[in-house]
Amino acid sequence: MQRFFVPREALSHGTVTFRPDQSRQIASVLRLQPGDVVNVLDNAGWIYDIELTDVSPMTTHGTVRGRHLATGEPRTKLTLYLSLLKADKLEFVFQKGTELGVSGFVPVISDRSVIGSIVSENKRIRWERIITEAAEQSERGRLPQLYPAIVFPQACEQVRGLSFIAAERGERPSIQKALAEKARAAVGSRPFSLNLFIGPEGGYTPEEIQTAVSYGIIPVSLGPRILRAETAAIVGTTLVLAYTGDLE
């Protein structure tokens, strides 16, 4: 069953109007016909069974035949604060992080970020498309939020709740141990939301780690080996969501 996220205003009076790019995909790539059924998600928690009524590469419409609550969302809301990387690596993290269950991405400009990755409107549109396609493919119920890029000190200042920063060097507890300690302190409760900072190639500077600690962000290790930044983002996400039971 093909899945498409649409804005809520595209659903009106029991019908749906697909965007031009979705219409092209439906008509020219998937070669669907009137009478075929697809799923539509409104990004508000509902999934709709849609019977296509007219199909063309320019405009495609359908009729709602039923709806039910969407599934596929993790219980723990994980926001990934990701230092800007080279374009292909950053896009890889957006795609795979979405598939795993990241709830939000915050691009961060840190001292060792790749300056050429500074966000333009065209890049942001491309990133949102990558996230949307990954969410549709992995049967997510909601789209992860892509937030505006911010500088590292501002990210540390704005973050709220349980937060970790991956640190390559020094004696750091593993992220699993840090989560377990916080769970014991909270009488075994599972965190509802948390934040994870992942640095650029070369990692964070010692000064950045100190800044993070001053805002209550906990330095943690992702294991005994030095990981590439994009690998660290996927490993960190996996360890967090596995610990919270969101990969079971």
Q: Among 44-53, 96-105, 184-193, 201-210, which is the least confidently predicted range?
A: 184-193
Rounded Cα–Cα distance for residues 63 and 176 (Å): 47
pLDDT of residue 71: 84
What does the pLDDT average to over 17-21? Answer: 94
pLDDT of residue 123: 87
User: Quick check: 237 and 222 in contact, CB under 8 A?
Assistant: no
Q: 3-69: which CATH topology? A: Ribosomal Protein L25; Chain P (2.40.240)
Tell me how crowded residue 60 is: count the other CB atoms within 10 A of its CB: 26
What would the DSSP string read from start to end of 177-192?
Answer: HHHHHHHHHTTTPPPS
User: What pLDDT digit, counting tens, does each position of 40-96 carry?
Assistant: 999 988 999 999 999 999 999 999 999 999 888 999 999 999 999 988 999 999 999
Spans of all domains in the chain: 3-69, 77-243
CATH number corresponding to 77-243? 3.40.1280.10
pLDDT band at 186 (very low <50, low <70, confident <90, very high): low
| Cα atoms in the 13 Å half-sphere on the side-chain side of 80 | 33
pLDDT of residue 32: 96
User: Quick check: 112 and 202 in contact, CB under 8 A?
Assistant: yes
- Give pTM, 2 decimals: 0.90
**Percent over 90 (pLDDT), the chain:** 74
Rounded Cα–Cα distance for residues 42 and 143 (Å): 10
Rounded Cα–Cα distance for residues 123 and 114 (Å): 14
Mean pLDDT taken over the chain: 91
User: What pLDDT digit, counting tens, does each position of 129-163 carry?
Assistant: 999 999 999 999 999 999 999 999 999 999 998 99
